Structure 1
């Protein structure tokens, strides 16, 4: 069907349009301004009135009327049937209209109606009703009212979003209070006749709306982000829409290797580099991962661009393509990163970039044929950048603990709601999946802001110390919990002869330990409650975690029993003048890891919900296997496109094709698969990287990936593209760690420093040219990996 959506620049219009596109319909959006999130592949007509040409030939038209406080929608079919949908006060975590402005002021003014009964409805329920009205032409004409069962009050909503209600009497009250938050009483008989029941009750709608209000304040009728808080992103810019100056994005790869979800690039920002997430989200990743983690990294880029504010085409590129997808693998925009680093005052941008990416970008052509308009990096710009930099550092540091605490509570509520997914009705299950996705997206925003803060403190430390000084994060570092858990369980096994004997047997599993070594089994369950949501490849939706496969953790503990104890390293002393900054830097490093940990836990909950959805779709005959659900986008579960089985088969085939490719570590403008290096390092040759954790060790190489981490044996040198937190339990018995990607602030570097594991990162070519079984010596101070022989 061809459907015209008027008011497509509003939250409801955007939501309805996205659902219709997912369902496979041809959509034309009409509005005063094209939304940033509007896909370049979907038509949009900019007009203050309905464009007659766009409406011609449409099978159905949606027109928006009323006010944001009391909206109504008119649905007209080509056959003449018309339906008017009236709604109660629309709430939800993505609303961005007068309702959000009314409840994000410093206070909520009472015009005398604060305690009157008030009906509300969630935006998602309104979208579902409108989609039905547009697609089902046989529905009865006339009016249908949509509202959740029950009532609330303006005062109750204000309390839920943390605002105080202030009574202003007389005519002045009517002026300062703004539009009345009242609507006609909803007669929901027609809604029930349609067989429609809202998914959100009143309390759930208000709780969800509070997420939109958090971190925002309305001043003079405009909603602003509170400088020291990080609110949820309401719109994520589309990657395929033309830039404001007309530059069209172009494919970066040849057609036979460009995946369905790959990113077209702005030719003025051509350089991209593989990110430190390469193992947590090992490619080619699944479509469900693309619709969760990739969306999160893009939201993070938007927030960072708004904080650094370089302006113009550079800021737009940051907000759209801080990260890109190529061959269904995640890359960082290194040209964008170069301009981002330029916002840091009085520091060589190359030093900032090397902290994230090491030297992988060395020799890479960062700029295209046409440079974007950029203000010269003169003294005035650097001073302005210094003020922006200081504002970010001080402001975000001040609010970081509050943001982290609120996010942890959000994830905890999600986990409580999803304790037993099998008991959820279908609509509630899908809503929790959407909520889980949005929590993960916000988790990426928070984590990326922490990375920005850590980089900022690193710059200040360099200015104060004259060199890179990494402060100790301390034993409570969340990303080290998995490694600490292995050490604790190994110690418990040494104290328990029965457990030690069982662990020495090749077939021991969790069930045998529970039956014969209950004390050790209880300790294992305690650790799984703490770290069970983590595991190799933990950001990929298809991956298994330690909770899914406790035997993997048990085998790691068994190997750790034979490892020799390590002497904890002595980190370089921090000069007295830099110690306050070092304390703040260490605090932010810990915050970063807490945020990332809670985000991964949200992914773990979301993974369980998706598997339950997959089971139901298999039972309904829509999918052939439970894991097929990971080949659908999260939004496609609520608005399924035609031929789900065909889509899954096509995407599985595409992933198999991309799996056979070797993507480049970095490229500029165009990328093609690279030939895997076939020349192994010979005895006496030296591989150079960045030493991030001192000490030296000898051992045999073991090249591992997320699915082969269990192959690592005690005393071997762990070699990987990059390691993430899910790999760190293996640090307990690895002689040393070598990664191809990463810099001094990567997870491998941080954990290795805390536990005294010799570690070299950014050792390019390590996984291709260091052969499993080769004996090497790793120097974690100099960054040299010397091949000693077979």
Structure 2
């Protein structure tokens, strides 16, 4: 169907349009201005009125705001549109003449975490005004998602009766809403009431609908997420400088820039995947370092609709904090990250301009801290440079003020943001306790909420990375060299490695546990029966780290809770390796100690945020699998894990032929797996499928040493699926590692990765536990072969091949 949505620049119009697009309908949006999140492939008409010309050929029209209703009704009749759906808090029967097939959807006050209209302005102010003593009167409310579903159903069901539909969850009060968003209610004195407009007009009595995704309490609680970290100043809603609110709109990556530059595909021929990012030719260079640690590819579509969305939201927030302005800021907000061949990349050209905002520091030094040396020799700029102001003294001073504001402001609010996020994820986990007991609608709502929590987790984690980089710059200025402060043994990302050490230490005190763990095949039933203390300790550790695992951000990957035997085998391997002595890190000069303390604090904050984000992914994975089971039972999918080949939004608004979509995407993923994309490229990328030339004896790979120590051992090249192949005393070599690999550090002689930087999660853990580690050793996983004897120097970054 062809459907025109008026008021498409408002939150409800955007939400309905997104659902209709997911359902494979042809959508045209109409509004006063095109929303930043509006997809480039979907038509949008910038106009306050929907004329008959705009409506021509439409099967249905939604009035969600914008045009006057009388004008719209005339245009509907002139264009011979079959169906009109009107969103209205009151019944506008007088406005709709006989003969027009119309449905009016009446609602209460529409709340939700993505609401960005006048209600947000009212509730985000310093206080909520009670103008006429109505703060305790019953107020009907409903969640935006429930309204969107009702509007979509009214548009798409030609057999539905015309007339009035009420959509409301129930009644609350303005005072209850104010309490939920943490604002006091202040009464307006009688003499001033005429001067202050009523915040909420009269709403009719509506009949509550029980078949909704959100009840009243859940609706109000969800709306509080939109208000958190925001303050209304006059007619505008601003971010509180020391807080990180949730992103309400993520800009579309495929829309032309305001200056008319069209994005173009970066892959050659069949290399482009369904979710790949077209690039602005003025910002051509991308690099896989660091981001591949988070999400190795080719990733699943479900991961694309969660993690990729999160990294883009993070880019938007960072661009708003650094404020380089112009085309550079827009590129940062849209394509700080890109997807190529279903693999995640960072925009290195964008990063270059981002580094220019750091005052009095060579941008290359900032980039090397993030990306290592992978970008060496890469052409960063296209034929046409974007307009960039010269790096003058005045501009550097301005950048210094912005930089200091970010550093001080975000540091001041970081613990508050972290605690709030920890609580959010805990509530999600409690709500999703038994996925099988959830109604279909509530299950889908928790999936969407889980996705949005993960997106916010990426925003928080990326802000912490920005802070860590900022403190690193200050440390360099004070110390004259790179100094990484110790984060301490409470580092959350070290919990998985610490769990292996703790369990191995406990097993050593229990001869029965040692005997059972030393068997070639470990009998977990016998372990539970004969070593109950060890088994109880294992259960406690799984409660702590069970949500983590190799490839933990990829939805298809198993965690330690999914496969406890993997963790048990890691403990067994750690038993034969002497415990490591924790290293003594170089002293920090007295002048830099206060900065080092703040930097270490931010490293810990970052790891807590990342850990809770992974926890949210773990909960979301369970919810998705439950949805997959229901789709299998309904005959729409053939296997539970097929659900990971669907986007999260497609589960709430499913397109036709889900099985066909899954089959097509599985085939595409298989095709992309045969390609070997480069670590970095500029403008166009070509698969490098030629077999890598093995390194000969005596040759040296140069990486970045991030954890000192010189060891010799045999290579074991591993990935997320083969980490269990690593044997005690071998050197773990991987393209990239994430925190889920770190339990294997307990018995690896050393760690070498192709990608990654000094501030990567695994590098920090290796440093804290004294595991020799080299990152950014280009070609290591491709050119080193399992069984080769090498020497790793974690101080210099040298990886020397000794022989077979």
User: If the length of structure 2 is used for normalisation, what is the TM-score?
Assistant: 0.96
Structure 1 counterpart SS, 2:721: helix
What is aligned with 1:143? 164
Cα distance, 1:280 vs. partner?
Answer: 3.9
Pick the aligned partner of 2:149 from 116, 128, 135.
128
Asked whether the 8 Å contact 1:88–1:121 carries over to 2, the reply is yes
Pick the aligned partner of 1:93 from 113, 117, 139.
113
Structure 2 counterpart SS, 1:143: strand
Cα distance, 1:175 vs. partner?
Answer: 3.2
What is aligned with 1:452? 466
What is aligned with 1:32? 32
Structure 2 counterpart SS, 1:781: coil
Pick the aligned partner of 2:260 from 242, 246, 265.
246
Q: Residues 664-703 of structure 1: matches in 2 within 5 Å?
A: 664-703=678-717
Q: Does 1:417 align with 2:431?
A: yes
What is aligned with 1:59? 59
Cα distance, 1:749 vs. partner?
Answer: 1.4
Distance 2:196 2:269 in 1: 58
User: If the length of structure 1 is used for normalisation, what is the TM-score?
Assistant: 0.97
Q: Summarize the Cα distance change of 1:417–1:76 in structure 2 as closer, same or farther, 3 Å threshold.
A: farther
Distance 2:713 2:473 in 1: 36
Structure 2 counterpart SS, 1:476: coil
Cα distance, 1:180 vs. partner?
Answer: 2.5
Q: Does 1:704 align with 2:718?
A: yes
Q: Does 1:164 align with 2:184?
A: yes
Asked whether the 8 Å contact 1:85–1:145 carries over to 2, the reply is yes
Q: Residues 487-506 of structure 1: matches in 2 within 5 Å?
A: 487-506=501-520
Q: Summarize the Cα distance change of 1:349–1:143 in structure 2 as closer, same or farther, 3 Å threshold.
A: same
Structure 2 counterpart SS, 1:4: strand
Q: Summarize the Cα distance change of 1:706–1:65 in structure 2 as closer, same or farther, 3 Å threshold.
A: closer
Distance 1:362 1:72 in 2: 65
Cα distance, 1:177 vs. partner?
Answer: 5.4
Cα distance, 1:71 vs. partner?
Answer: 7.3
Q: 1:339-372: per-residue Cα shift (whole Å, max 9, x none)?
A: 0000000000000010111000000000000000
Structure 1 counterpart SS, 2:283: coil
Distance 2:433 2:719 in 1: 31
Pick the aligned partner of 2:667 from 640, 649, 653.
653
What is aligned with 1:463? 477
Distance 2:291 2:28 in 1: 37
Structure 1 counterpart SS, 2:36: coil
Structure 2 counterpart SS, 1:692: strand
Structure 2 counterpart SS, 1:278: helix
Q: Does 1:571 align with 2:585?
A: yes
What is aligned with 2:334? 320
Q: Summarize the Cα distance change of 1:79–1:693 in structure 2 as closer, same or farther, 3 Å threshold.
A: farther
The aligned length equals 783
Structure 1 counterpart SS, 2:291: coil
Cα distance, 1:221 vs. partner?
Answer: 1.8
What is aligned with 1:41? 41
What is aligned with 2:803? 789
Q: 1:738-789: per-residue Cα shift (whole Å, max 9, x none)?
A: 1111111111211111011111111001011111100011001111011111
What is aligned with 1:104? 124
Q: Residues 367-766 of structure 1: matches in 2 within 5 Å?
A: 367-766=381-780
Distance 1:73 1:200 in 2: 27
Distance 2:404 2:316 in 1: 19
Distance 1:174 1:187 in 2: 32
Cα distance, 1:72 vs. partner?
Answer: 7.6
Asked whether the 8 Å contact 1:279–1:536 carries over to 2, the reply is no
Distance 1:560 1:19 in 2: 50
Distance 2:688 2:199 in 1: 61
Distance 2:714 2:58 in 1: 68
Distance 1:353 1:533 in 2: 32
Structure 2 counterpart SS, 1:777: strand
Structure 1 counterpart SS, 2:686: coil
What is aligned with 1:18? 18
Distance 2:237 2:472 in 1: 33
Asked whether the 8 Å contact 1:691–1:779 carries over to 2, the reply is yes
Cα distance, 1:676 vs. partner?
Answer: 4.2
Asked whether the 8 Å contact 1:69–1:98 carries over to 2, the reply is no
Distance 2:519 2:154 in 1: 64
Asked whether the 8 Å contact 1:158–1:165 carries over to 2, the reply is yes
Structure 2 counterpart SS, 1:734: coil
- Show structure 1 runs of 5+ residues with no match: none
Asked whether the 8 Å contact 1:741–1:761 carries over to 2, the reply is yes
Distance 2:248 2:445 in 1: 17
Cα distance, 1:389 vs. partner?
Answer: 0.2
What is aligned with 2:283? 269
Cα distance, 1:679 vs. partner?
Answer: 1.6
Cα distance, 1:73 vs. partner?
Answer: 9.2
- Show structure 2 runs of 5+ residues with no match: 69-86
Distance 2:480 2:667 in 1: 53
Asked whether the 8 Å contact 2:88–2:105 carries over to 1, the reply is no
Pick the aligned partner of 1:348 from 359, 362, 366.
362
Distance 1:678 1:217 in 2: 55
Distance 1:109 1:721 in 2: 57
Q: Summarize the Cα distance change of 1:137–1:255 in structure 2 as closer, same or farther, 3 Å threshold.
A: same
Distance 2:247 2:266 in 1: 27
Asked whether the 8 Å contact 1:534–1:726 carries over to 2, the reply is yes
Q: Residues 100-249 of structure 1: matches in 2 within 5 Å?
A: 100-111=120-131, 112-149=133-170, 151-176=171-196, 178-180=198-200, 182-187=202-207, 197-249=211-263
Distance 2:98 2:36 in 1: 30
Structure 1 counterpart SS, 2:345: strand
What is aligned with 2:84? none
- Aligned-residue Cα RMSD (Å) equals 1.7
Distance 2:249 2:92 in 1: 22
Distance 2:191 2:694 in 1: 83
Q: Summarize the Cα distance change of 1:518–1:60 in structure 2 as closer, same or farther, 3 Å threshold.
A: same
Distance 1:757 1:77 in 2: 77
Cα distance, 1:76 vs. partner?
Answer: 9.7
